[in-house]
């Protein structure tokens, strides 16, 4: 009887560890600094643009590829946008829409904290003027910094953020210079079986 109880207890312990590992791996799937190759797609739709006519909107699909190096201490992330920008012509009332490739950007993160429960990285970023149309990009080469953090102390809730800053340093002289920062917080609630 003692052997049966030990055997069943061992199976339950292995099952619980496996479930915990699975929950941790689901949480790490959302980590933008995870030590794994990743390809993801994200769509951003903005139905109303500030200080623009009601018909103006923006829709961008991002394709992002991440590749770790140096045993996960370095991570390269490349983002390629495909955008639709719709702006009405105030003189004619006709809505002008541009579609195509936007300005690609990349950043290389040095992960100075790299634990299963917390990852933080900082590094340089660059944006290339690859836009197919003027309306889809800045026409400028831009450089700056990116800081990203991901906290996964709970297998159910994770959070973090991405802060970037970049300014133009070369490009089309007829286009305005750029200098901007962005903060993107993110929160994840794991619902189970890979759904979040």
pLDDT score recorded for residue 38? 87
What is the pTM (predicted TM-score) of this model? Answer: 0.76
pLDDT score recorded for residue 27? 58
For each successive 10 residues of the chain (196 residues), what is the average pLDDT? 48 41 56 81 89 86 93 91 88 85 95 87 96 91 95 89 94 92 92 81
Sequence-ordered strand ranges (E) for 47-139: 57-69, 74-88, 95-101, 104-114, 118-128
pLDDT score recorded for residue 28? 63
For CA atoms 35, 77, 125, 184, give the dihedral sign. Answer: negative
Instruction: Give me the residues paired with residue 127 across strands.
Output: 105, 142
Helix (H, G, I), strand (E, B) or coil at 32: coil
pLDDT score recorded for residue 25? 56
Q: How far apart, in whole angstroms, are the C-alpha atoms of residue 20 and residue 27?
A: 11
pLDDT score recorded for residue 99? 93
pLDDT score recorded for residue 166? 96
Closest by alpha carbon to 84, among 131, 51, 129, 130? 131
pLDDT score recorded for residue 128? 96
pLDDT score recorded for residue 17? 38
**Tokens at residue 153, please?**
């102390």
């Amino acid at each position: 009887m003692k052997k049966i109880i030990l055997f069943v207890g061992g199976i339950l312990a292995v099952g619980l560890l496996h479930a915990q590992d699975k929950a941790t791996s689901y949480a790490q799937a959302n980590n933008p600094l995870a030590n794994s190759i990743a390809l993801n797609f994200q769509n951003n739709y903005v139905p109303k643009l500030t200080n623009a006519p009601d018909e103006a909107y923006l829709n961008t699909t991002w394709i992002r590829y991440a590749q770790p190096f140096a045993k996960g201490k370095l991570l390269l992330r490349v983002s390629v946008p495909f955008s639709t920008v719709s702006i009405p012509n105030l003189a004619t009332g006709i809505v002008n829409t541009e579609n195509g490739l936007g300005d690609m950007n990349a950043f290389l993160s040095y992960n100075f904290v790299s634990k299963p429960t917390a990852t933080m990285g900082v590094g340089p970023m660059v944006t290339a003027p690859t836009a197919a149309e003027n309306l889809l990009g800045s026409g400028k080469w831009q450089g700056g910094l990116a800081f990203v953090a991901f906290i996964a102390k709970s297998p159910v809730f994770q959070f973090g953020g991405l802060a970037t800053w970049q300014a133009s340093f070369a490009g089309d002289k007829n286009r305005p210079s750029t200098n901007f920062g962005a903060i993107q917080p993110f929160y994840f609630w794991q619902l189970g079986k890979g759904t979040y």
